[in-house]
Amino acid sequence: MQQISKKKNWIEKIFDFFFVMYVVFVFCFNDSVEYNIFIYVALAGCVGAAILTFALNIKKMSFPKILVLMLLYLGYCYASSLWAWNSYFVLDRASTVFQLILIAIVFSTYFVYRENVELIFKTIMIGGVVSSIYVIASYGGLSSFYAEASREGERLGGEVGQVNSLGLYASYALVILFYYAFYKKKPILYPVMIIPFLVAMGSGSRKALLSIMLGIGVLLILSQSTQKKNIPKMVGKFILTIVCCAVIVYFVMKLPIMSTISDRMEGLLKTLSGDEGDSSSIVRQKMIEGGIKQFMRTPIFGIGLNNAQIVNGMYTGRYVYLHNDYIEQLVNLGVVGVAMYYGVIAYTLINHIKLLRTKNSTVYLSLVLMLVFLVNLVGSVNYYSKLTYIFITLWISVTYIMKKRVS
């Protein structure tokens, strides 16, 4: 997406600074109560700048209509307390969702007005790299981190935050780094990819590995559509790319740092094939089975926001989320709530697919991040994650900006 060249005013500069700080602090300190104040200060700065922009340009502002569906979802979350198994659980989680949806509404309206989403991509990339450096530094430097990560069974990052989240932050940053290096011809970024790669693999997160492979793989495939249609040449390039990627993956998987994630992937494959896999995969399988059984009993309205943890407790003895966003939300809010929440994402997904005809690389990257995100939801619950609503802001902004430009 070619940005309209214009000089930033002082309000835009303030917003950009605080937005970058907000995402970086979310990536580094989201799981630290001690440092959460930095997140809220940065958030206050960029929201304040956005509201000031709205006030000064009220006649030029346009409200993305799809955001109405998000407000309906928010209202439904609160309404579910009326029939919830535990209404306290509903209100506790709904307050978080309320804050995040309001933030997404402000950010989406702001970015659509500015017609600039490049900042979101670069900020996620910067956030992932900075958080990766922060993790490595917390272990005493690169050599110490690599040595620890190379020990079989070790998952690093727990001292800083949630290991799976840190792994995913790094993987998203790596995919965006690859996009700028490959699509935007900035080879200097290839060595930078090593930093988030080490943290992604050191975290032992299977989702991080799959995110990297899927993200880079789809970007490579989409890059062929920007070339002139020489079918034999395209097929040859595609086959060569697959072979090269397979060779790289083979040798990378032999590295000591890959031992933990290799074992965890093997355990997952055993579980999926019906054999006895690792304990984590077995427990998560029980969570999904229990969630599906409960959904079949209350398919329309669910049992109330954040109440799936009760179902999990009944089947596994663990009163936590079900580790699958689709099942979690079906249990909590039934098909009604799921239709509202995923309706927003489905709307942007359909429009992104339609916009592929523009052969715009910004649409490609946005779509790839969406596909990676949706695949990751099979193994995580993200409907109350700050990063989720940053992504929703991105997808809504790309959709409305590009539809305006091609109309």
* pLDDT of 321 strictly over 70: yes
pLDDT (average), residues 75-90: 97
| Residue 4 confidence class, pLDDT cut points 50, 70, 90 | very low
Q: What is the pLDDT of residue 266?
A: 65
Q: Which helix (H) or strand (E) holds 370?
A: helix 361-376
Higher pLDDT: 149 or 265? It is 149
User: 191 exposed, middle or buried (CB, 10 Å; 0-12, 13-18, 19+)?
Assistant: exposed
* pLDDT of 73 strictly over 90: yes
- Per-residue pLDDT of 236-275, as tens digits, reads 766 777 777 777 777 777 777 776 666 666 666 665 556 6
* Nearest-angstrom CA–CA distance, 43 and 283: 37
Q: Are 22 and 126 in contact (CB under 8 A)?
A: no
Express as a percent the part of the chain with pLDDT over 90.
64
Higher pLDDT: 252 or 12? It is 12
- Per-residue pLDDT of 216-226, as tens digits, reads 999 988 887 76
pLDDT (average), residues 167-178: 96
- Per-residue pLDDT of 338-365, as tens digits, reads 999 999 999 999 999 999 999 999 999 9
Higher pLDDT: 274 or 279? It is 279
Cα atoms in the 13 Å half-sphere on the side-chain side of 58: 2
Residue type present at position 44: A
Residues 6 or more apart whose CB falls under 8 angstroms from that of 84 comprise: 90, 303, 304, 305, 307
